Amino acid sequence: MLLAIGLVVVVIGTVLFNFLSPSFTPLASNWGQIDFTLNLTIAMTGIVFVVINLLMAYFVLRYRQQPGKKAAFEPENKKLELWLIGVTAIGVVVLLAPGLFVYSEFVNTPKDALVVEAVAQQWQWSFRLPGQDGEFGKTSISLINFQNPFGIDPEDPNGQDDVLVPGNEIHLPLNRPVKVLLRSKDVLHDFYVPEFRVKMDAIPGAISSLWFTPTKAGTYELACAEYCGLGHHTMRGVVVVEAQQTFQDWVAAQAIFSEEVAEAGTNTGQDPVVVLGQQLAQTKGCLGCHTTDGTPSVGPSWKGLFGKQESLSDGTTVAVDEAYLAESIADPSAKVVENFPPAMPPYTLNEEDLEAIIAYIKSLTGND
């Protein structure tokens, strides 16, 4: 009796939860067909779940052990079994057919799609557009350095006009199909914006892709959906969907590879040691966890860091001077700042690099 009630309670609870709970994020792409197939599956499986659980509740009541009543000896019923196999097979087809149909649309990228490259690394995103010539320049891991974070081959003419977006934010034009080419500089990552529905892993050593058409203007958060280490949960990007003209304006404002190469050779008037420190901070991955604008991330922000009194996890305070910074780089677990995870791996730097990074941190006085 209690079991029958329990099963009914489970059915009522789950059905209620289904209707009352928040559910899909609002769709912002063309992939409404995925939602349709998903909803069809929910309906069909929901019905099966309810029916079978209620049947069990009924059987538990109706066929409970009673004095004088014996179980029926019916070891098989070939006809019934065949019928059930048939019905199940039909159910499977009803789910699989639309699913495979929609999938075939997914594997066939529209020819006129805008192509964008998303480059994943621990733990941030950067992006590239192919520029006027519509072709991306070849890239190589061995070419990646502070001047060339995308690793573009300077000898490749196609790469000269590539539009570079080194920050975490990419803009896309409304209502135009976009094919996102994915690659990674280190480990597996995954490009996932829930509102667009589609996702795909970014693989080091290979290029993968997905496509979608953004149908609603807005700002969407990009999450990494393939575990990539300590900062996996902090690897946030932003996708801004806007009108075509606004998008073009945004593209025009971005840097181009040929300009970056030229600029790298000029003297900006800054202290070269500080400049070196800034470049090292980028290439060594420091900026993956330490921001320069004051926002705490995986690690404390570097803005205004030098010279302040820092509270440590053991309750003591320490003055942030050169010695402290040097120690924190070589042996980060020695002193951990309060409310931050002891997540930083140790770095062994030569004296010149260490001095440069410290100089760069010093330069972020917090007065700008």
Partner 1 sequence: MAQVAHADVDHHEPQSFWTKYVFSQDHKVIAIQYALTAILIGLVGLVLSGLMRLQLGFPGGFDFIQNGNYYQFITMHGMIMVVYLLTALFLGGFGNYLIPLMIGARDMAFPLVNMLSVWFYILSVLVLVASFFVPGGPTGAGWTLYPPQAITAGTPGAGLGIVLMLTSLVIFIAAATMGGLNYITTVLQLRAKGMTLMRMPLSVWGIFVGSVLALLAFSALFVGGVMLLLDKVVGSSFFMPAMISMGTQLAYEGGSPILFEHLFWYFGHPEVYIVALPAFGIVSDLMCAHCRKPIFGYRTMVWAILAIGVISFLVWAHHMFVSGMNPYFGFFFATTTLIIAIPTAIKVYNWLLTLWRSSIRLTVPMLFSIGFVSTFLVGGLTGLYLGNVVVDIPLSDTYFVIAHFHLVMGVSTLMVLFGAIYHWFPKVTGRMMNDVLGKLHFWITFLGVYAIFFPMHYLGFMGLPRRYFNYDAFTSIPDSAQAINTFITVAALTVGVAQLLYLFNMAWSYFKGKKANGNPWQATTLEWQTPDTPPVHGNWGATLPQVHRWAYDYSVPGAKQDYLPQNMEPVPAGTGNGKP
Residues 75-104 touching partner 1, rule: CB under 8 A, are 75-77, 80-81, 84-85, 88-89, 92, 95-96, 99-100, 102-104
The one-letter amino acid at 326: A
Smallest distance from partner 1 to CB 46, Å: 8
HSE-up of residue 183 (Cα within 13 Å, Cβ side): 16
Q: Which is nearer to partner 1, 82 or 319 (CB)?
A: 82
Encoded one letter per residue, x for contact with partner 1 by CB under 8 A and - for no contact, window 214-253 reads ------xx-xxxxxxxxxxxxxx-----------------
The nearest distance, CB 245 to partner 1, in angstroms, is 26
Plot region of 296 (φ>0 → left; ψ -120 to 50 → alpha; else → beta): beta
| 37 is a contact residue toward partner 1 (CB under 8 A) | yes
What is the full DSSP assignment across 319-361?
A: E--HHHHHHHHH-TTSS-BTTS-S-PPP----HHHHHHHHHHH
Distance CA 186, CA 228 (A): 9
Q: Is 197 near partner 1 (CB under 8 A)?
A: yes
Counting contacts by CB under 8 A, is residue 14 touching partner 1? yes
**Assigned token pair, 331:** 């042996």
Among 189, 212, 195, smallest CA distance to 126 is for 189
Of 178, 180, 239, 280, the one binding partner 1 by CB under 8 A: 280
From 110-118, 190-198, 239-247, 360-368, give the range in contact with partner 1 by CB under 8 A: 190-198
202 counts as binding partner 1 under rule CB under 8 A? yes
- Asked if 23 interacts with partner 1 (CB under 8 A), we say yes
CB of 363 to partner 1, least distance (A): 20
Distance CA 238, CA 255 (A): 18
Candidate list 107, 245, 314, 350; residue touching partner 1; CB under 8 A: 107
Instruction: Decide: is 21 part of the binding site for partner 1 (CB under 8 A).
Output: yes
Among residue numbers 313 through 342, which ones bind partner 1 (CB under 8 A)? 313, 341-342
Residue 115 as a binder of partner 1 (CB under 8 A): the answer is no
Candidate ranges 173-181, 254-262, 284-292, 317-325; the one touching partner 1 (CB under 8 A)? 284-292
- The enclosing H or E element of 242 equals strand 237-242
HSE, CB side, 13 Å, CA atoms: give it for residue 112.
3
Whichever of 289 and 320 has its CB closer to partner 1, that residue is 289
Q: Between 256 and 361, name the residue whose CB sits nearer to partner 1.
A: 361
Q: Residue 190, class by beta-carbon neighbours within 10 Å (0-12 exposed, 13-18 middle, 19+ buried)?
A: buried
Query: Does residue 306 touch partner 1 according to CB under 8 A?
Result: no
The long-range contacts involving 7-13, CB below 8 angstroms and separated by at least 24 positions, are: 7/53, 7/54, 7/56, 7/57, 7/60, 8/53, 8/54, 8/57, 10/53, 11/49, 11/50, 11/53, 11/54, 11/57
In whole angstroms, what is the distance from residue 293 CA to residue 364 CA?
9
**Count of residues touching partner 1 (by CB under 8 A):** 114
Q: How far is the CB of 244 from partner 1 (least distance, A)?
A: 24
How far apart, in Å, are the Cα atoms of 153 and each of 54, 140, 143, 203, 266? Answer: 65, 7, 7, 20, 20
**Quick one: 10 or 264, whose CB is closer to partner 1?**
10
Selected from 277, 285, 299, 300, the binder of partner 1 by CB under 8 A is: 285
- Listed in sequence order, the DSSP H helices in 144-271 are 244-252, 257-265
Site string for partner 1, 147-166 (x = CB under 8 A): --------------------
Given 154, 177, 194, 304, the residue binding partner 1 (CB under 8 A): 194
